[in-house]
Amino acid sequence: MASLDASLAKPIAKEAPRRRALGVSGVFLPRLLAGLAIVLVWEASVRAFLPAYVAKPSTVLLAIPKTVVDAAFLAATADTLGAVAQGLGIAVVIGTLVGLVIGRSPTADRMLRHYVNGFYAVPMIVILPLLSLWFGYTSATRLATIVYAAIFSIVVNVSDGARAVPREYMEVARSFRAQRLRGLFEIVLPAATPYFLAGIRLAAGRALIGAVVAEFFTAIGGLGYFILFMSRTFRHDEAFVGVALLAAFGVGVDVFVAWCTRRFLPWYRRDERSA
Amino acid sequence: MTESLRRHAPLLLSLAAGTALWEIAGRRASAAFLVPLSETLVRLWEIAASGQLWEQFVSSAALFLTGFALALAIGMPLGMLLARMRVLRVALEPYIMILYATPMVALIPFILSLMGFGFAPKALVVFLFAVFPVLYNTIEGARSIKPELIEVARSFRSSEWKLWCDVMVPYTLPFAMTGVRQAIGRGLVGMVAAEFFLSATGLGQLIMTAGQNFDTGGVFAAILVIGLIGVGLMRVGLMLEQRFARWRD
């Protein structure tokens, strides 16, 4: 017991002084300075070399209060984020089911894997012209693009997770005569949760790109179209507020998923960005 | 023989089923919606025979390779440099993470109005799509270098140059390869996005014009080509990753 304690204590003792050396100010100060430097270089270079309408920190900052109360901006934001949420929802439900089946059934795996990998590797944006032929220049095209963009990363990750479930778990379930379906939803799905979360993280990023691309392409409105329209009419500052919001959403999802993984699956460590 | 047949039977069956499904659905559906596989292949042959396909492929490949090579040339050394210079890394990490999570497509309208329609803005789009996965994963790899390795190298009075050649680069490469694989996928999206939304050239143009002419067969043919390129490049990325993954751990 003592030797175990000692071996546990060792890496911690080694880690501690390094952590302390950084400290809060050691992290915060360089970051603040770097942020200031980026803002200054950006501001100065736009002022020196580029026309006045180009977005720079000072004017973007001034544009924020005006833009965030702008009814058109709010409607566009709600429109895009609503579509992303809806598309992600569809992709999560279908993708998880398909992923579970592929992960647990070798036959389904051999039959479907190549299609999933194939569709996953197709750059999602190329199917836009096809989707707009099918659904017209409507919000259905955007929804379909979002679902297509998001679903395959969920299928791939959930099936990886379902495959990685320890054999013992399934054996125990079988010895207690659990039904196959219950085993799927009560053992495989929870065990695959870390993979599932990693898939959501990727899917959310791709869904956001899909939404913006579809709005550029079909001009149906939404945040992507807002950015396009504003930058075309030389109101780059307002457009940039839209970009910042998209970035915030992307970062927000990343942070939220990372937090969920740490909070609810503290035993789990894996390179979440691997796919 | 029978064993391998049994193993591959589901795959062959599913490929046959997929082909048949496409063919039958294509014949039953209106030609504006879905074109059967056979007609798609005929259309593909026409586009290829006219020399158009090759021309557009070369144009797209030049765009992709330029942006991608820039992303590698800047992302990998910068990532290792940031890993070596601790203060700089700590300072810049959050901003790199933000840019990694930002959907780069949203920047295309700005690039358009600042740089116009030429080759450079399009290569910039591919670069922006591809560089952050490389940068992010290289930093991630380089920061996980065991301090002992560097300490040992130092105690043997290794020069900074030698340290990079023998420790930093070999240790980081497998991680960077994960970034390279992601960058291939993202770079392809960037390539098509640039061809769609900046000036129509390359394979993107092939799809766009086919779509605008309601030439569904042409759309399918072009999607098939880009899809196959995507699958092929993904394979290459995976192979690279696995080739270097043996060093890891």
- What is the per-residue pLDDT for B232? 92
Q: What is the mean pLDDT of each run of 10 residues along chain B (249 residues)?
A: 72 85 85 84 90 91 96 92 84 89 90 88 95 90 81 84 82 86 92 91 90 87 91 90 71
Same domain, A33 and A158: no
pLDDT beyond 70 at A22: no
Q: Which two tokens stand for residue B90?
A: 């700590």
Residue A273: inside a domain:
no
Please name the residue of chain A whose CA is at the shortest distance from the CA of residue B18: A115
Three-state DSSP class for residue B203: helix
Radius of gyration from C-alpha coordinates of chain B: 23
Same domain, A125 and A33: no
Q: Where does residue B195 rank: exposed (0-12), middle (13-18), buried (19+ CB within 10 A)?
A: buried
- What is the per-residue pLDDT for A4? 39
With tokens 């659990």, the residue in question is A178
With tokens 């927000």, the residue in question is A252
With tokens 């790199």, the residue in question is B96
Q: What is d(CA A118, CA B239) in angstroms, rounded to the nearest whole number?
A: 16
Residue-averaged pLDDT of chain A: 84
Q: What is d(CA A90, CA A249) in angstroms, rounded to the nearest whole number?
A: 19
A172 touching B, CB under 8 A? Answer: no
Q: How many CB atoms lie within 10 A of CB A245?
A: 21
**pLDDT 10s digits, A154-171:** 999 999 988 888 888 888
Nearest-CB residue to A121 (from B99, B196, B230): B230
Which domain CATH number covers A238? 1.10.3720.10
Residue scoring higher pLDDT (A88 or A16): A88
CA of A120, closest CA in chain B: separation in Å?
Answer: 8
> Do the Cβ atoms of B186 and B130 come closer than 8 Å?
yes
* A126 contacts B192? CB cut-off 8 A: yes
Q: Which two tokens stand for residue B96?
A: 């790199």
* A133 contacts B216? CB cut-off 8 A: yes
Residue A65: inside a domain:
yes
What DSSP line would sit under A239-258, residue for residue?
Answer: HHHHHHHHHHHHHHHHHHHH
List, as ranges, residues 110-139 from A with C-beta within 8 Å of B: 110-112, 114-115, 117-118, 120-130, 132-134
Same domain, A171 and A244: yes
Backbone angles phi, psi at A70, to 5 degrees: -70, 125
Same domain, A37 and A94: no
A209 touching B, CB under 8 A? Answer: yes
- What is the per-residue pLDDT for B246? 63
Q: What global pTM score does this model have? A: 0.85
- What is the per-residue pLDDT for A163? 87
Same domain, A23 and A67: no
**pLDDT 10s digits, A259-273:** 888 888 877 655 444
- What is the per-residue pLDDT for A1? 37
**pLDDT 10s digits, A125-148:** 999 988 988 898 889 999 999 999
Three-state DSSP class for residue B85: coil
Nearest-CB residue to B231 (from A118, A130, A246): A118
Percent above pLDDT 90 for chain A = 36
Same domain, A168 and A63: yes
Same domain, A218 and A142: yes
Count up the domains in chain A and report the number.
2
CA A3 to chain centre: 43
Nearest-CB residue to A30 (from B8, B91, B106): B91
Q: What is d(CA B231, CA B76) in angstroms, rounded to the nearest whole number?
A: 24
Q: What is d(CA A150, CA A90) in angstroms, rounded to the nearest whole number?
A: 9
Please name the residue of chain B whose CA is at the shortest distance from the CA of residue A149: B189
Q: Which two tokens stand for residue B20?
A: 């048949």
Output the CATH code of domain B38-245.
1.10.3720.10
CA of A185, closest CA in chain B: separation in Å?
Answer: 26
Same domain, A85 and A195: yes
Q: Where does residue B161 rank: exposed (0-12), middle (13-18), buried (19+ CB within 10 A)?
A: exposed
pLDDT beyond 50 at A275: no
Residue A86: inside a domain:
yes
CA of A176, closest CA in chain B: separation in Å?
Answer: 31
Q: How many CB atoms lie within 10 A of CB B17?
A: 11
Domain residue ranges of chain B, discontinuous segments joined by +: 38-245
> Do the Cβ atoms of A133 and A94 come closer than 8 Å?
no
Q: What is d(CA A214, CA A146) in angstroms, rounded to the nearest whole number?
A: 8
pLDDT beyond 50 at A274: no
- What is the per-residue pLDDT for A11? 42
- What is the per-residue pLDDT for B80? 86
Same domain, A93 and A69: yes
Same domain, A20 and A129: no
Q: What is d(CA A119, CA B244) in angstroms, rounded to the nearest whole number?
A: 26
**pLDDT 10s digits, A245-255:** 999 998 999 88
- What is the per-residue pLDDT for A87? 96
Same domain, A33 and A66: no
Which run of H or of E encompasses B87?
helix B86-101
The interface pTM score, or ipTM, of the predicted complex is 0.84
What DSSP line would sit under B155-168, residue for residue?
Answer: HTT--HHHHIIIII
Q: What is d(CA A238, CA A73) in angstroms, rounded to the nearest whole number?
A: 9
* A127 contacts B193? CB cut-off 8 A: no
* A130 contacts B223? CB cut-off 8 A: yes
- What is the per-residue pLDDT for B97? 87
The domain in which residue A154 lies consists of 57-264
- What is the per-residue pLDDT for A19? 46
Mean pLDDT over A49-67 rounds to 87
CA of A157, closest CA in chain B: separation in Å?
Answer: 15
- What is the per-residue pLDDT for A200? 92
Q: What is d(CA A38, CA A18) in angstroms, rounded to the nearest whole number?
A: 28
Please name the residue of chain A whose CA is at the shortest distance from the CA of residue B232: A121
* B233 contacts A121? CB cut-off 8 A: yes
CA A16 to chain centre: 33
Task: Please state which of the ranges A2-11, A46-55, B24-33, B88-97 shows the lowest mean pLDDT.
Answer: A2-11
- What is the per-residue pLDDT for A24? 65
Same domain, A44 and A95: no
- What is the per-residue pLDDT for A208? 93
Which of A152, A141, A145 is CA-nearest to residue A102?
Answer: A152
Residue A6: inside a domain:
no
Q: What is d(CA B51, CA A150) in angstroms, rounded to the nearest whole number?
A: 35
